[in-house]
Amino acid sequence: KQVSIASDGNVTVLEGASRIDSVRGKLRVVSFAQAQNLQKEGFNLYSAGAGIAAQPDTTSKLRQGFVEKSNVNSVLEMSRMIEVTRTYTQISNLLQQQSDLHKTAIDKLADVPA
């Protein structure tokens, strides 16, 4: 058996010695105006509740044999995350030093002879 998916979403199966096409189903690519209202079913599956209508997604394309490319540059984002972590550490150290300085100042003011 050979399964193929057309750009219009038709799923066809070539089977048997005669290699006759048989349409088995149709995939739809849709979007939702308020995706946060979808109900999680588990295993990356969601269902639309009552009153939630799916609109055809005109910007996405359906192609067989292709892998979706990520919209994130992982190397760039990892370097940004490292930069943010280092900045956070520096600020944390600065705040600790300032706290220690205040403590030292209070201790010295308390030791002033009367």
**Residue-wise pLDDT tens digits, 67-84:** 888 889 999 999 999 999
How many whole angstroms separate alpha carbon 80 and alpha carbon 87?
10
Contact present, 51 and 37 (Cβ < 8 Å)? no
Name the 3-class secondary structure at 12. strand
Q: Which amino acid does the sequence have at 12?
A: T
Beta bridge pairs of residue 15: 20
Contact present, 56 and 36 (Cβ < 8 Å)? no
Contact present, 62 and 11 (Cβ < 8 Å)? no
pLDDT of residue 49: 81
Residue 94 in this model has a pLDDT that exceeds 90: yes
Residue 57 in this model has a pLDDT that exceeds 80: yes
pLDDT band at 100; cut points 50, 70, 90: very high
Question: What pTM, to 2 d.p., does this model score?
Answer: 0.49
Dihedral sign, CA of 27, 31, 36, 38?
negative
